[in-house]
Structure 1
Amino acid sequence: MNKIFFKTAFRNLLRNRANTGINLLSLTIGMTVSIVIFTLIKYQYTFDHFHTNADRVYRVNFVEKTQWGANYGSQTPEPLHKVLRTDYPQIEAVSRTIGPIETRVFIGEEKFDESKALFVDENYFQMFDQKWLRGNPEEAFSDPQAVVLTESTAKRYFGNEDPMGQTIDFARRAQGVIRGIVADPRLNTNLPYTMLANVAMMPKVQEFYVRNTWSITSMGTTWVLLPENVDPVNLASQFNAIVVNNLGEEAAETISFELGGLKSLHTDDRYSGLNYTIPNDTIYGLLIIAFIVLATCTINFVNLSTAQVLKRSQEVGIKKIIGCAKSQLANQFFLELSIVTLTATFFSIWIAEVLLNEINGAMSAISIDLKLEMASIIFAIGLGVILTFLAGLYPVGMLVNFKPLEVIRSKFTQVRGRKAVVRNTLLTVQFVVAQILVISVLIFNSQFSYIKNKDLGYDTEDIIGLGNFVPGGYRVDPALINSAKSQLMESPFIENVTFGTGGPNAINPWNTTLVDPESTERIEVNCDFKHVDINYAELFNLKVIAGSWFSPANYQTENREIVVTELALQKLGWDDPQEAVGRRVNINGYSDNATIVGVLADFHTDNLRNEIKPSVFEGDYAGYNQTFVKVKEGYYSEVAQHIDKVSSSMNPDFVADYKSFTDEIAIDYEIDRTLFGFINATAILAIAIGCLGLYSLIAFVVQQKTKELGIRKVVGANTNSLVLLLSSKYIWLIAIATVIAVPFGFYGTREWLNSFVYQVEVSPLVFVGAFLLTILIALLSIGYRAFKAATTNPVKALRYE
């Protein structure tokens, strides 16, 4: 019996291969999109879940209350981990990590730049899992010079040579010894690394990161491992005593420590993670897209399945008359649907794997690693089962409730009546969701055009950034700076060179506060803070609106002199930029004052999602860790060669890592751009699916009206009137779909637009364009089939049946 069922199912699917192909294509598209989105969301919400002790590991977070709200940070004062070890015996283990940081390493005379060197202590291995390929944590980190490399880093450094016991030199300041090799870590972690080094070496590698004082949050992070019976909230409340004992009772009113669970750190919006966090509104958008595409495919599946049921109505009627049970008919039809969905599931898993690899490549700048795992496959199979049930429920209900005599007499149709209403309603819903996607694509495109063309208030084109080009790190030799600048400017393809602690944008910013010492109210203004040299404003084309930019005299005085943006003055309560020049302010909370020598026009310190922040620039020789070079357009390779030449004589330790300033800014929109491309393709596919379904339904209606069309032609109806007769109803359905889709599309995209402080205004032309585009594509789908039916010889039509 089962063999007969399968034979019959395959024969029916092959006999109606056009419908089978359309169903298979639409289901494959819908399931592929859903699998990709499921995998992306699962990736987002499973950061660090793979560690054995993930449920018991907590990060100690730093919280500071201000009159504008609370500032949250993941870096804590250096002495904190020592106090937690000695004074809180209920904590099972405390670990101190620094990084991952950028550092230069040497293997003999060969040099490498590492961007993810993580410095840890021996307790780190109790909290975080690694797969050890050589060595073990107990023995390796008994050595204060221990270094553990990942498998790929060991291969990059030593090739096929055995790395164990080899020495590695950190910036010519500290030597480490390789004591182990571990497998490359997963990318969905908040502590990515290419090597693990003993934190005991950090005072030599970069003493700035380990300042042993309570008044400064260092670059280090404190982790605790708690027994299962210890409540993290209750424990964190006891940390107030640490603040009182070391910073005073007044500080305890604004400063506190809290414990953040490892599993929830990545999606906690209060803290900036080391890996890119997909915004919540983007996650919601992805879920809506998955729902829309699945709804489109399922409706298409239902419509074509119901049409197919009607085509087989006489077959079913005869089977009922000869005694076929309803359950057998239902099983037969569900079997056919299951074969289609099972095949679609297989193809969708395969295509999803390919797409995920493409997405990984497209978003390589933010280090994402999406891949199909067992959870994704289970999701795909479960989705296939649900779609089979949902798509078959209504058609099978029709199938088993056929009245055989009505079917045999050909009185059972679906051109008019309640069943036609159901089909047309489903078709309308299908075009509603398709139009929502079209509206979303048009609005997304407008916003990205706005982002691309928005004046940020400074130049970004043809500027490259170099990290640590000049030796000295945070202590800069002015003579060396001037020498480097003059040597770089010898190239005819370099227009300008400047140094500082970062560009105008807020990527890896330093922060400070400004206070008006003459004000009776202590108003602290949080600002981005950068040490810069004299060419900085010229290279980035920053606009001075009062006073002047730094002069050589500013770099020779012992007095602190600063340039601020207009927004900083406004937040201090000062109205006139001209009057601000020469006034003094307290900077960074210290009693020593700084003098304002110039005021800049405001510029975008962050991406367009966030408000502009006030900025402070200090003209001195402290903290230059970045070099910016303005390049003549089209001469990047020549400039790179010249930079290598200069660095070889001036700074042999430099390893070039050129970063286009434009590309650095574009990283902020990486997810959005990929999402836009994804939605763009999805919208096209959704409309294509709808049009394929519409074409099949028109073919079905034409089949039902064959005699009617023949009679109308005999009595004088022309081709145009017949085409209009067949297509006008569907044009009206699309028009109704537009009316329904407009508010959903507008408010849906409004939520996404609201994630940008600076956004485009939505024009009514967007909705008109969406309607015209959908009408045009639908007319092309309907027109051909309707025209073919209208031009059929009426003699053939009247002979039908």
Structure 2
Amino acid sequence: MRSHDDIKPPSFWLRFFRWYCRAEYAEDIEGDLVERFEMRASKHGAKQAKRRFRADVLKLFRPSMIKKLEGNQKLNYYGMFKHNFKITIRSFAKYRSTFIINLLGLSTGLASALFIYLWVQAEMSMDKFHEHDEQLYQVMLNHEESGKINTKDGTQGLLAAALEEEVPEIATAIQATPTHWFGQMPLSTEDKTIKAIGKFADPAYFEMFSFPFIQGEPKTALKDKGSIVISNSLATRLFGSPEAAFGQTIKWQLLNFTDEYKVAGVFKDLPSNTTDDFEFILAFDKFRDILPPEAIHWGNYNAETYVLLAEGTDVNALNAKLKSFVKDKVEWSNVEPFVRPFSDRYLYTKYENGVQAGGRIEYIKLFTVVSVFILLIACINFINLSTAKASTRAKEIGVKKAIGAKRNSLAVQYLQEAVLMTVISVIVAIGLVILLLPQFNQITGHQIRLNFDLPLIYILIGISATTGLLAGSYPAIFLSSLKPVATLKGKLNVSFGETWIRKGLVVFQFVLSVVLISSVLVVTKQIAFIQKKNIGYNRDNLVLFANDGKIADDFNTFLLDLQNIPGVVNAGGTTHTIISGGNYTTDFHWEGENPEVQTQFGNMTVTYDFIETLGVEIKEGRSFSREFSTDTDKLILNEKAIEVMGYENPIGRKVRLWGNDMTIIGVVKDFNFSSLHEDIIPMFFKLDNVSTFNILTRIQAGNESNTLDRIAELYKTYNPEYEFAYSFLDQEFAKQYLAEQRISKLTKYFGILAIIISCLGLFGLTAFTIERRLKEISIRKVLGSNAWSIITLLNKQFSMLVLLAILIGLPISYWTTKEWLNGYAYKIELQWWFFVLAGALTLLIAWLTVSIQTFKTAKLNPAKSLRTE
């Protein structure tokens, strides 16, 4: 049993008292504290005595008792900092190669992280600038089809008014048309005609969305059906200035629809962080006039709907309420509306079975992780290189410790050295970002600027401090722990744990390298697959341009003239481009249809010869033909539609479309008329030889330039005042995957940077190993070993580390790439050789990195090395 004499005051609190108490009071007060502790321990027990001792120490912690931090002590801290700073600069100059490698690694890593931060910031800011952002929502529709839920942003033309009138949580509801439906439309003044991108929208559009006006009043600009609102740049192109444009008259045309409009407003050009793309807006009432009466019903989706929610609205409760909104109006409807934040439409585009399942936000998460990994790799390099050079600084540490330097002061010195290195690297990184930002903007498609605002300054300070402490903590602990006697004798012993920490860091680096190389290979293969995939028609040498001006007045004659041009294989018209797909409808019914299961059909309105121009294969029946005058009440369906309908002999069968009886005359093989992210859906072609917005022309390969010149001449004979603007369909097709192409490029660049920085880390470990085994290498050379055997010996050790990294990295690579590919309905199959190649490349890079340095060492004169020893 312990006696009371063995019970001592808590050591931590006693040391704390000695640290803060003034010297003139410390001895007397400490005696009193200890005496009171002993009395309490004997009377109440050790536990209570320790608790009361702690309370007494804390009560004494007051200004009158605390040591003054001034005078010589302050000068000593300054002197120590100044001394350490000089030593750090001299160390950088003395060990130039280590300094340069550290600088390259850290500055490149920091620049990469800064680029990713700027890109993430730009991505996250998309559509966030609207004044009512927190209340601004878009209405989406979940379509239940054959046990599966598809989510679309196209809504019924009747929905907006009904929502505003019947749902009190919705303050304002408007509808607008997407700009891709119409492409560029002609706008004319008295002396010029130009084409611009426009849309139709309800009068409250500019109250809901924050596009500032230069001229006019946003609240009233679209209330008159005869008004047009144009952008600043469009006003300048048409009239010289926004002020001159206001109140002027503009003639607008869409197919056979033409009218004159008064400029009721001029808005500032759209900012770069918006997903909208338009140069003018017309009143949505005008669009209603263009649509046939039968097109406006609860089964047709011909607009996008946006709502402004009342403040304090519970969005989840609202969505639960909206679930049956359309079904309550029409029993046969299979759609369920819900709202999502408008600013989510850029980052959260993917829905699976009616539930949000990602989108661009996945790339943001991915590159945020990549930036952290790159910084970690750069810090690992610093650690490896610092410890690799420990033996060269061992005597410096031994001398300092021998003359009284404490371990914590040495640790502070090396931490200060690491922080200074990081600050220099941050400055270099900022220079790299400024230098390369224009090229980075070309890759990302953003207009990013490096503005030194408070958030960025805080981030730079935080990165400098965090990276410096992270990179310098281990070298500081390791170097300051060296024993002075051993270091002065030249004996630098490295523990088993320290060795494996370094090796583990290198393995971690190369695991990331394997993952990045695999990802680059898979992303590149998938993008190439998309570009070359047989999508059911031949998209090469297909030219797309608008049916506008006087062409629309005599469209059939123009098509015949176009087909007679040498080099033109065929030509036809379509309401929507192939790339953007067509409209969607559920008002399609057939005999034997299950009334409880509704199916959404895609539809394209086309002219004669369009299917032949597109090159879609007719599987059964025939195409639309001028030999049959009644083909306007006929339909051509794809294979998917026939499969859904369950027909074995569909030709001649009747269906009901928008209240009218139609006859199936043909079946085409399935083809993609939208993104490859989506599965092929049921669809039909409907003939309309007048009202199609676009002309598709297939031209012969090999003489495209002359053929295009002839097409332009024909176009000019109809529209001498118009500019002939066209695009190739394969180029438009590629634009759908612009985000993937950009991500592919970013992955390549950051992957290469990560691999280079990883190699610097391996260089550091190689330097350390060679330095530790220099005497052994020299003896081997004296005994007859050649340079190649020494290179092989050292490579063997590092090959094992890299092979371990490959074994760890390959399963991770497989999982990450498979998850990414799941975002595509049509994708490549993951092949074993993708990952074998990634591993082989990683191993080859490691061998080259090690061999370059070991070859240099193997060529050294052994006598010189042994003399140094």
The CA distance in 1 between the partners of 2:571 and 2:399, in whole Å, is 87
Cα shift readout 1:770-801 (whole Å, capped 9, x = no counterpart): 23322322222222322222232221111114
Equivalent position of 2:189 in the other structure: 107
TM-score scaled to structure 2, two decimals? 0.81
* Residue 458 (structure 1) shift: 0.6
Instruction: Return the match for 2:502 from 417, 423, 430.
Output: 423
Q: 2:475 aligns with which of 395, 400, 420?
A: 395
- 1:17 and 2:96 correspond: yes
Q: Which amino acid aligns with 1:560?
A: D
- What amino acid is aligned across from residue 219 of structure 1 in structure 2? A
Aligned match of 1:701 in 769, 785, 794?
Answer: 769
Measure, in 2, the Cα distance between the counterparts of 1:244 and 1:568: 24
Aligned mate of 1:436, from 504, 510, 515: 515
Judged with a 3 Å threshold, the aligned counterparts in structure 2 of structure 1 residues 147 and 789 are, in CA distance, closer, same or farther, namely: same
2:119 is matched with 40
| Counterpart secondary structure, 1:224 | strand
Evaluate the alpha carbon distance shift between residue 11 and residue 525 of structure 1 in structure 2; reply closer, same or farther with a 3 A threshold.
same
Q: Distance in 1 between matches of 2:824 and 2:166?
A: 46
2:640 matched to 1:567?
A: yes
Q: 1:531 touches 1:624 (CA, 8 Å); kept in 2?
A: yes
Change (3 A) 1:691 1:584: same
Aligned to 1:765: 833
- Give 3-state SS (helix, strand or coil) of 1:399's partner: helix
Which aligned pairs between 1:133-148 and structure 2 lie closer than 5 A? 133-137=214-218, 145-148=226-229
The equivalences for 1:196-275 within 5 A come to: 196-197=281-282, 199=284, 206=290, 216-219=300-303, 221-226=305-310, 228-234=311-317, 243=326, 247-248=329-330, 250=331, 254-269=334-349
1:311 paired to 2:379: no
Deviation at 1:552, TM superposition (A): 1.9
Structure 2: distance between partners of 1:449 and 1:141: 45
Cα shift at 1:463:
0.8
- Alignment CA distance shift 1:270-1:586 (3 Å): farther
Deviates most, 511-520 or 15-24? 511-520
Structure 1 match to 2:678 = 610
Contact 1:333 1:396 in 2 (8 A): yes
The one-letter amino acid of 2:85's match is: F
TM-score, normalised by the number of residues in structure 1? 0.87
1:632 aligns with 2:632: no
Aligned counterparts of 2:797 and 2:711: Cα–Cα separation in 1? 69
Distance 1:4 1:672, change over 3 A: same
Amino acid at match of 1:231: D
> In 2, Cα distance between the equivalents of 1:728 and 1:396?
30
- Contact 1:499/1:625, CA 8 A, preserved across alignment: yes
Partner AA of 2:312 in structure 1? N
**Which amino acid in structure 2 is aligned with residue 43 of structure 1?**
A
8 Å contact kept, 2:325–2:337:
no
Q: Deviations over 1:162-191 (max 9, x none)?
A: 433333222283433345444323233344
SS across alignment from 1:444? helix
Distance 1:559 1:541, change over 3 A: closer
Extract unaligned runs of 5+ from structure 1.
none
Q: Say which of 713, 721, 740 aligns to 2:808.
A: 740
Q: What corresponds to 1:321 in structure 2?
A: 402
Matched, 1:177 2:266: no
- Bigger drift between 427-436 and 522-531 goes to 522-531
**C-alpha distance in structure 1 between counterparts of 2:178 and 2:627, whole Å:** 37
> Alignment partner for residue 483 of structure 1, among 536, 557, 567?
557
Tell whether 2:786 aligns with 1:718: yes
Counterpart of 1:547 in structure 2 is: 621
After the TM superposition, which of the residue ranges 373-382 and 424-433 deviates more from structure 2? Answer: 373-382
DSSP-derived class of the 1:8 partner = helix
- Which of 734, 745, 749 aligns to 1:681? It is 749
Indicate the residue corresponding to 2:44 in structure 1.
Answer: none
The amino acid that maps onto 2:496 is G
The reply to whether residue 517 of structure 1 matches residue 599 of structure 2 is no
Deviates more, 1:748-757 or 1:627-636: 627-636
Report the number of matched residues.
776
Partner residue, 2:37: none
Return the letter of the residue paired with 1:580.
Answer: P
Supply the AA of the counterpart residue of 1:755: G
Structure 2 match to 1:188: 273
Q: In the aligned structure 1, how far is the partner of 2:530 from the partner of 2:165? A: 52
Q: Could you tell me how far 1:362 is from its partner in structure 2? A: 4.2
Specify whether residues 53 and 389 from structure 1 end up closer, same or farther in structure 2 by C-alpha distance, changes over 3 A only.
same
Q: CA deviation at 1:90?
A: 6.4
**Secondary structure of 1:552's partner?**
coil
- Per the alignment, residue 525 of structure 2 pairs with 446
Worse-superposed segment, 494-503 or 208-217: 208-217
Q: 1:729 aligns with which of 797, 803, 825?
A: 797
Deviations 1:600-643 (A, max 9, x none): 22223333332222331223425411101112335444334333
Q: CA deviation at 1:244?
A: 7.5
Are residue 156 (structure 1) and residue 229 (structure 2) matched?
no
- Range that drifts further, 457-466 or 480-489: 480-489
Q: CA deviation at 1:106?
A: 1.5
Taking only the aligned residue pairs, the percentage that are identical comes to: 26
Q: How does 1:272-351 map to 2 (within 5 A)?
A: 278-351=359-432
- CA distance in structure 2 between the aligned counterparts of 1:430 and 1:241, rounded to whole angstroms: 53
**CA spacing shift, 1:25–1:144, aligned 2, 3 Å:** same
- Establish whether residue 498 from structure 1 lines up as the match of residue 572 from structure 2: yes
> Residue 562 of structure 1 contacts residue 594 of structure 1 at CA under 8 Å; is this kept in 2?
yes
> For residues 240 and 702 of structure 1, what CA distance do their matches in structure 2 show?
70
Residue 462 of structure 1 corresponds to 541
Q: Structure 1 residue 667 and structure 2 residue 730: aligned?
A: no
Q: Determine if contact 1:54/1:127 at 8 Å carries over to the other structure.
A: no
Letter in 1 for 2:635: I
- Structure 1 residue 83 displacement after superposition: 5.0
Please list the CA deviations of residues 60-115 of structure 1 after superposition, one character each: whole Å capped at 9, or x if unmatched.
44455444344544454445554555566665545554554643211323112221
Shift of residue 483, structure 1, vs aligned partner:
1.0
CA distance in 1, matches of 2:147, 2:850: 60
* C-alpha contact (below 8 Å) 1:147/1:180 kept by paired residues: yes
Give the secondary-structure state (helix, strand or coil) at the position aligned to 1:782.
Answer: helix
8 Å Cα contact 2:139-2:340 kept in structure 1: yes
**Distance change in 2, residues 1:210/1:404 (3 Å):** farther
Q: Residues 401-458 of structure 1, C-alpha deviation per residue, up to 9 Å, x if partnerless? A: 22222222222244x7322221111112111211221222222333333333322221
Measure, in 2, the Cα distance between the counterparts of 1:772 and 1:659: 42
- In the TM superposition, what whole-angstrom CA distance separates every residue of 1:311-361 from its partner, at most 9, and x where no partner exists? 322212222222234443233222322233223333434444565543543
Give the SS at the match of 1:455.
coil
Q: Which amino acid aligns with 1:49?
A: K
1:4 alignment counterpart: 83
Does the CA-based 8 Å contact 1:714-1:794 persist in structure 2? yes
Give 3-state SS (helix, strand or coil) of 1:594's partner: strand
What is residue 653 of structure 2 aligned with on the other side?
Answer: 583
Q: 1:99 to 1:696 in 2, by over 3 A?
A: closer
1:582 & 1:80 partners in 2: Cα distance?
36
The RMSD of aligned alpha carbons is 3.4
Query: What CA deviation, in whole Å up to 9, does each residue of 1:735-780 have, x standing for no partner?
Result: 1111111111111111112222322222222233223322322222
Q: Would the aligned equivalents of 1:470 and 1:484 in 2 still touch at CA under 8 Å?
A: no
Over 3 Å counting, the alpha-carbon distance change for 1:168 and 1:504 in structure 2 is: closer
For residue 581 of structure 1, what is the amino acid of its counterpart?
Answer: I
8 Å Cα contact 2:606-2:686 kept in structure 1: yes
Give the aligned residue type for 1:338.
V
Q: In the alignment, residue 553 of structure 1 is paired with which amino acid?
A: E
Partner of residue 3, structure 2:
none
Distance 1:673 1:82, change over 3 A: closer
- Give the conservation status (yes or no) of the 8 Å contact 1:563–1:618: yes
Does the CA contact (< 8 Å) of 1:29 and 1:685 recur in 2? yes
